[in-house]
Amino acid sequence: MLSILFEALTGSRAFLKSRSFSPLCRHSHHLCSRKLPNERSSVEEMGPADGDHLAASFNLSDFTVIREGEAEILMHVGNEVFYNKSQINNRDMSIAVLRTFISKRKQEHEAMLLRRKKPGPKVAEETAVDPEAIIMDSTTHNEKSNVHCEVAQEISQDEPCSISGDPAAHQEGKCRAELKPPRVLEALSASGLRALRYAREVDGIGQVVALDKDNACVEACRRNIKFNGSVACSKVESHLADARVYMLTHPKEFDVVDLDRYGSPSVFLDSAVQSVVDGGILMCTATDMAVLCGNSGEVCYSKYGSYPLRGKYCHEMALRIVLSCIEVTPERKTLLVFALHCKQNHRVLIAVFISLSDLSLNLESFEMQSHANRYKRYIVPVLSVHMDFYVRVFVRIYTSAGAMKNTPLKLSYVYQCTGCDSFHLQPIGRTVSKNSSVRYLPGFGPVVDQECSDCGKNYNMGGPIWSAPINDLEWINSILADIKSMKNRYPAFDRISAVLTSISEELPDVPLFLSLHSLSATLKCTSPSAVIFRSAVINAGYRISGSHVNPLALKTDAPMDVIWDIMRCWVKNHPVKAQPPDQAGSVILAKEPVLQANFTRAAASVSKAQAKKVARFLPNPERHWGPKVRAGRHITSKHISLLGADAVNEHETGDEPPSKRNKTGESDPS
C-alpha cells in the first residue's frame, strides 16, 4: 500500500527504478541509450536510419517543428505539452543571466584560491563584520562549492564536495583547484525547450536535468533531446518525477535551479532552496499576477505569506513579495517515512516532503517550517524583472547563520493611504552597534498615525515585502555587455536589452514608486511633464529615476510631504476647479507648501538612455502576445482572447459541447 502511495506522489514507479536511494549511492541516470553520429538541428539533416527510428516512434505529420535560438523541438498539434511563444523573452533573459553566472562563478573561485594562498588568518576581524558586509560578500560562504576533490572510494561520486568545510582537509591538499562545470536543474521541463537551449547555447554547461511528472511531457522532452543531436544527448537527461521530491532528495547538488511554472511557484520553493549549492543561483517565475497584484489578497497570503496592495506599484510589489517568500515565508509541510522494497529485497527508509494542501490522508505526521532561513540560508537578488504577464527573479543562495540574522532588516510592511498616493514602509527589524558587537532589535514603529497626515484618510497595511535592493547593478551591466556582444544569439535581443537598460537606470535602494498621473488625478489637475517633475525633485536635493515596470513610474527618495509640496506649487501655477472639501485632493491643496518648488530644468532630469534615444518600452511583437491555454485543455471559441480567432479555428474540431458554444454567442447547429 505504501509503495503504491509513493508511486502516486512521485508520478511513476519509473522514478524509483531510475534512482538508488541509499545515501552513498546517488549516481546520475543518463537518458540517451545512444548518441547520434553528428550534431543535427533539423529532420532534413538526419540520416535514413535516424529518420526511420523517429518515424517508428511517432507520426511526423502530427507535429510541427519550432525553432528558437539554436534548439528545435517537435510540438504536437493537439496541445498535449505546454508551449508559449511569448516566453522567448523569459528564456533569452535566463540564458543571459546563466552566462554571466558562469563567468562570475569562475572569477569568485579564482579570487577564493588567491585568498587561500595568502598567509595570516583574520579570524578576530571576521567575527565582528558589519551586517551589510555579510550580505554583500558573495564568496565567503561557499561551504559546499562544486569542485573536483580526491576523496575516498566510500564517498558517493555524486555528493558535492566542500572547499571551505574542514580546514585540515585544505592543508592536506585533498581538493584540487579545478571548478566543475555547473549542473542545471529545470524542475518543470514540459517540452524541454529551455533545457535544450541551455545545453546548446551556454558554453561551459555540464549537465542539465529536466524533470516533469507528466508522461506526455517526459516523452516529448526525450523525443526533442534525440531530435537535437549529440550535444543534447550528452548533456540533457529527462526524468519522470515530482520536482519537489527530486529536489529534496538531492540537497545542494545543483548550481542552477530553474522554476518556470504555469501559475504560482510557492509549493516548490522549499525544496528548491535546499537543492542549490552554496553560491548557486535560483531562477523563479510567477505568472499568477492577479493574485500577486491584490485581486485576491487572502490567496496571496496563503501562498506567499504576504498581503498585497492594489497600488500603481503592484507589479514591483509582486516582485518583492516573491523575494520575501523565498527568503523567509514558512510553508506547512508533512514528513512521511515510507518503507520500500528495493531490488536486493532489503528495506530502505526514505524521507519525503509533501505539501499538506496536496494530500488528504489521515496519516501521523509532524509539521516543518521552511524556505531559506529555516536552513540557515539567505538570498542575494541579482536581477528581478517584470515582463509581459509575469515576474521573474534571479537570486543567489548562501548558507550563513550570521548573515541570516539580517533578514528582518531587509523586510518591511507597507502602509498605503486609501485617499491619496502616500505610502510608507515599516521595517521589521533594526540593529544597534556598540564597540564590536551588533544587537538585533525590533523595528521602531509605528511610522504613521492612524490617519494620513496628507489627506486625513485611513491606511491599508500590506506585506511584508522585500525592501532591500532587488537588482545588482554590476550584474546588470555585465549582462548588458554580454548580450550586446552576441546580439545575434538572442532572438529577443531588442526586448531584453530594453528591459535591462531600464533596470540599469533605476534607483536600486528605493522600494516601490509613484505615478505622476495618479498624483495629478488625486488633485484633479493637469499633469506636469516627467522632465518638469523630475527637475523639481532634483532641485529640492533628492534623487529620482524611472522604473522598468511602468513607463509612468517615478522612483524617488523624497518623502511624501516634499512630493505634495511640489504638486501644490504646480497647482498654484495651474489652478484647478473647486472640489468638495471632504475629498483627499481638497484637503491636500488646503495646506500651504513648506517647500517652494523650483521647476527649472535639471540636467539629470533626462536619463542617459533617453538622451541617446534608446528604446526602453517596446510594444508586443504581435497580437495575442501573452499567456496561453494550459496544456491538455481543449481549445475552444472561449479562448479567442488568448489565442486569436485564426488559432482557435485551426484547433476547433466541432466536438465542443453545445452549452459552451451558447456561452460564446454561437447558435446551436441543431
Q: What is the pLDDT of residue 637?
A: 56
Task: Give me the DSSP letters along 391-446.
Answer: EEEEEEEEE-HHHHTTGGGGEEEEEEESSSS-EEEEESEEEEEETTEEEEEEPP--
What residue segments make up the domains of the chain, in order of their start? Answer: 2-91+182-401, 147-176, 511-606
Average pLDDT value over all residues in the chain = 76
In this prediction, residue 241 has a pLDDT band, given cuts at 50, 70 and 90, of very high
Specify the amino acid at residue 561: D
Which of 164-173, 216-225, 604-613, 640-649 is predicted with the least confidence, judged by mean pLDDT? 164-173
Q: Which of 479, 474, 513, 259 is nearest to 380 (CA)?
A: 474
Q: What is the pLDDT of residue 59?
A: 66
Q: What separation in angstroms does the CA of 82 have from each of 87, 246, 262, 623, 628?
A: 11, 21, 9, 19, 8
Query: What average pLDDT score do residues 577-591 get?
Result: 92
Query: What average pLDDT score do residues 253-264 get?
Result: 92
What count of other Cβ atoms lies within 10 Å of the Cβ of residue 454? 20
Query: What average pLDDT score do residues 335-343 get?
Result: 34
Task: Give me the DSSP letters along 62-125.
Answer: GEEEEEETTEEEEEETT--S---GGGHHHHHHHHHHHHHHHHHHHHHHHHHHHHHHS----HHH
Long-range contacts of 2-6 (CB under 8 A, 24+ apart): 2/338, 2/339, 2/340, 3/338, 3/340, 3/341, 5/338, 5/361, 6/338, 6/340, 6/350, 6/352
Query: What average pLDDT score do residues 439-467 get?
Result: 93
CATH topology of domain 511-606: Phenylalanyl-tRNA Synthetase; Chain B, domain 1 (3.30.56)
Q: What separation in angstroms does the CA of 655 have from each of 219, 421, 659, 660?
A: 26, 51, 12, 11
Edge-first strand order for the sheet with 544-545 is 514-515, 553-556, 544-545
Q: What separation in angstroms does the CA of 475 have from each of 84, 104, 202, 380?
A: 28, 9, 17, 12
Query: What average pLDDT score do residues 403-428 get?
Result: 94
Q: What is the pLDDT of residue 165?
A: 37
Q: What is the pLDDT of residue 365?
A: 28
Which of 117-131, 446-460, 479-493 is predicted with the least confidence, judged by mean pLDDT? 117-131
Dump pLDDT digits (tens) for 586-616: 999 999 999 999 999 999 999 888 888 888 8
Burial class (CB in 10 A: 0-12, 13-18, 19+), 511: buried
d(CA 600, CA 207): 57
Q: What separation in angstroms does the CA of 169 have from each of 24, 80, 161, 164, 179?
A: 20, 52, 11, 9, 17
d(CA 224, CA 536): 57
Q: What is the pLDDT of residue 513?
A: 96
What count of other Cβ atoms lies within 10 Å of the Cβ of residue 195? 29
The CATH class of 2-91+182-401 is: alpha beta
Long-range contacts of 571-579 (CB under 8 A, 24+ apart): 571/523, 571/525, 574/525, 574/526, 576/523, 576/524, 576/525, 577/524, 579/524
d(CA 331, CA 328): 9
Cβ pair 62, 77 in contact under 8 A: yes
Q: What is the pLDDT of residue 626?
A: 62
Q: What is the pLDDT of residue 357?
A: 38
Which of 460-464, 479-483, 576-580 is predicted with the least confidence, judged by mean pLDDT? 576-580
Dump pLDDT digits (tens) for 288-299: 999 999 999 999
Residue 36 has pLDDT above 50, yes or no: no
Q: What is the pLDDT of residue 632?
A: 52
Dump pLDDT digits (tens) for 615-665: 887 777 777 666 655 555 555 554 455 555 555 455 554 444 444 434 433
Which secondary-structure segment (H or E) carries 243? helix 243-248
